[in-house]
Amino acid sequence: MFDATTAHDRADDLTPFALPEVPAGTPSDTDLQRAQGSGRIVLSGSEQGTRIIDVFQRAPIRIMFPSTGASAIEEAVLINTAGGIAGSDRLETAVTALANSSITVTSQAAEKVYRALNEPARITTRLKAYEVARLAWLPQETIVFNWARLRRETEIEVSATAELLALEWLVLGRAAHGEVMSSGQIIDSWRVKKDDQLIWADSLRITDETFPHLQRKALLSNCRAVATLIYFGPDLDARLDFLRDVVLSLQCQCAATLVGGLIVVRFAAQASYDLRLAVHNFLDQFGRELGGGPFRVPKMWSC
């Protein structure tokens, strides 16, 4: 099992990338048309179920609420109409689940981060779950192409009575195309607060200098698809025991632990298909344990 902090990083070290010097006259990502998109969802509970309080979207981000046959909102789907992410793009998403609301938020398809010239793309996600709210953040995978530069930050705030499940995953290169990611830069960081107190922080950093060593057993070994999932809610000890039984049935490297008052699960697989199958099976079993609701495999994953 890999350790997200072993790739020459500390949880509190989030200094910007040391970008290479660009000779005068050389094109830069900032010289090209780049996306500055954002989306915001605020939901609240009611006698009729979850209802939308506020929605904001700025291209290329679009937010859809597919009909599931129920009168209440059950799932929100994020769409990147640009078809991918390039160097110097900025995408921000915020989801706030107010008291008694319940929502699954996912993405329409796997996100793709393309080669950058010299600037990182930045993806920021802010999740807030208040009293008795149930929020599941379950986007599809992020595929990072060779020579891509990415900085992703996931910031979460929960109240003591909320319940939250959050997933982020990375696929390094396109195995179906024989692509092996040999260069680029990735920072993938998490910050989780409970009632305004930081309870967990984590950061994965991979740089040009790190890629040649990722096959070492202390890092990613031969795995090119990795994921982190966290769960905050009641009965953590009992649910950790349940999940440790679940991970034994998955066809990938996987482990679960309890730290800072939440469950953290790591996944690693040689191929993205194997990781997707493992995550799907994990959510299917854990969702039933949690009683369904938003904690399930998103319907969009099957479209």
**Model pLDDT for residues 248-259, shown as the tens digit of each residue:** 999 999 999 999
- State whether residue 11 is helix, strand or coil: coil
**Is position 118 within any domain?**
yes
CA distances from 153 to 137, 203, 301 (A): 14, 9, 23
Q: What is the pLDDT of residue 135?
A: 98
pLDDT recorded at residue 69:
65
Residue 292 within any structural domain of the chain: no
| pLDDT at residue 90 in the model | 96
C-alpha radius of gyration, the chain, whole number:
19
Amino acid at 162: A
Beta bridge partners of 189: 153, 203
* Angstrom distance (rounded) from CA 149 to CA 203: 15
State residue 16's pLDDT score.
Answer: 45
pLDDT tens per residue, range 194-252: 999 999 999 999 999 998 898 898 899 889 999 999 999 999 999 999 999 999 999 99
Q: How many domains is the chain built from?
A: 1
- Of 44, 276, 16, 9, give the one whose Cα is nearest residue 122: 16
* Percent above pLDDT 70 for the chain: 88
- Structural domain includes residue 2: no
Residue 149: domain span: 34-221
For residue 34, which phi and psi values (nearest 5 degrees)?
A: -130, 155
30-33: which pairs have CB atoms within 8 A and are 24 or more residues apart?
30/88, 30/119, 32/86, 32/88, 32/117
Higher pLDDT, 136 or 222: 136
